[in-house]
């Protein structure tokens, strides 16, 4: 049995969707912190992301999913298995618009990230007093704090509260982590490695699309010059010898620019569809 801790709150939706794509259904059960898991070899519990890294380190869970920011904040000694590239945020230092940091010898700083904040402030040479916040950190300035250290995705919340970022301290995303002793257990490691393999295949699949198209025989060579692939395209002759069918896997981000180029190179009847998994 593998004990898995998944994050409570806004991160949970993406995590549950990832496991679903991996073939593991996790269904929340009302207010219970022990959701249903379709894999009988995995026991799941919902925890606050702030606590997961330390709980995995001390062996309460074999594996867990949490943000890299909380791994750094609590200094957890864990095995980082996969960067899931979800819920990307930046940890920034922010002050009120127009605030001059140089005018004050000592500033008041509020944040949920006490350790990250103190390390940053010490390195930067600030004289400061620290206030530990418990949510709604953006509401502290200007009356209650001169600076905040907070995670931001788009920066809109800062602007809505008349704040501006002065420094990016750390970039974070969701990570799949494991207890070091659990990775030394052959049976548990085998199960964890299976999860890692499937997670990586899903993440790679999400970044790719499959393209299929037809091309006249005389234009095949020109099409090949502009067509990318993971290795090389698959080419097969159409019935009756009227041309060729071409299939290839490409980066999803390149498709928008590729399709007009392929069409000019002779590609026609172009199809694009998603890939669920790519196993290398």
CA 269 to chain centre: 35
Residues 72 and 195 in one domain: yes
Q: Flag whether pLDDT at 186 surpasses 90.
A: yes
pLDDT mean over 72-84: 97
Which of the four pLDDT bands, split at 50, 70 and 90, describes residue 104?
low
Which of the four pLDDT bands, split at 50, 70 and 90, describes residue 135?
confident
Residues 15 and 148 in one domain: no
> Edge to edge, what strands does the sheet with 2-7 contain?
42-47, 2-7, 63-67, 174-178, 79-83
- The pLDDT of residue 33 is 93
Which of the four pLDDT bands, split at 50, 70 and 90, describes residue 139?
very high
H/E element, 129: strand 127-132
Q: Is residue 19 part of a domain?
A: yes
Q: Flag whether pLDDT at 59 surpasses 80.
A: yes
Residues 77 and 191 in one domain: yes
Residue pair 70/112 in contact (Cβ under 8 Å)? The answer is no
CATH of the domain at 120: 3.40.190.10
pLDDT mean over 2-21: 95
The first and second tokens of residue 214, run together, are 């037809």
Q: Flag whether pLDDT at 103 surpasses 70.
A: no
- The pLDDT of residue 10 is 87
Domain of residue 75, residue span:
2-86+173-205
Q: What is the pLDDT of residues 266-280, one digit of tens each?
A: 999 999 999 999 998
Which of the four pLDDT bands, split at 50, 70 and 90, describes residue 32?
confident
- The pLDDT of residue 29 is 80
In b/e form, how buried is each residue of 173-182, taking b as 16+ CB within 10 angstroms? ebbbbbbeeb
Q: Is residue 279 part of a domain?
A: no
pLDDT mean over 86-113: 90
Residues 178 and 81 in one domain: yes
């Amino acid at each position: 049995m593998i004990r898995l801790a998944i994050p409570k709150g806004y991160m949970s939706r993406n995590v549950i969707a990832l496991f679903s794509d991996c073939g593991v259904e996790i269904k929340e059960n009302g207010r219970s912190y022990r959701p249903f898991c379709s894999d009988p070899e995995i026991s799941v519990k919902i925890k606050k992301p702030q606590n997961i890294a330390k709980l995995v380190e001390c062996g309460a869970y074999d594996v867990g999913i949490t943000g890299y920011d909380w791994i750094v904040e609590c200094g957890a000694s864990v095995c980082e298995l996969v960067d899931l590239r979800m819920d990307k945020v930046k940890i920034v230092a922010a002050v009120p618009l127009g605030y001059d940091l140089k005018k004050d010898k000592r500033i008041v700083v509020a944040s949920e990230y006490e350790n990250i904040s103190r390390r940053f402030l010490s390195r930067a040479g600030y004289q400061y007093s620290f206030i530990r916040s418990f949510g709604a950190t953006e509401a502290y300035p200007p009356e209650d704090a001169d600076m905040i250290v907070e995670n931001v995705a788009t920066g809109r919340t800062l602007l809505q509260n008349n704040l501006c970022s002065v420094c990016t301290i750390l970039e974070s995303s969701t990570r799949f982590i494991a207890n070091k002793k659990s990775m030394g257990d052959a049976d548990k490691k085998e199960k964890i490695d299976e999860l890692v393999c499937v997670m990586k295949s899903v993440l790679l699949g999400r970044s790719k699309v499959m393209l299929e198209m037809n091309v006249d025989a005389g234009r095949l060579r020109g099409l090949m010059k502009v067509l990318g692939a993971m290795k090389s395209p698959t080419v097969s002759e159409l019935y009756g010898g009227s041309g060729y069918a071409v299939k290839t896997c490409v980066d999803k981000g390149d498709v928008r620019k590729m399709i007009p180029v392929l069409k000019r190179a002779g590609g026609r009847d172009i199809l694009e569809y998603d890939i669920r998994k790519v196993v290398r």
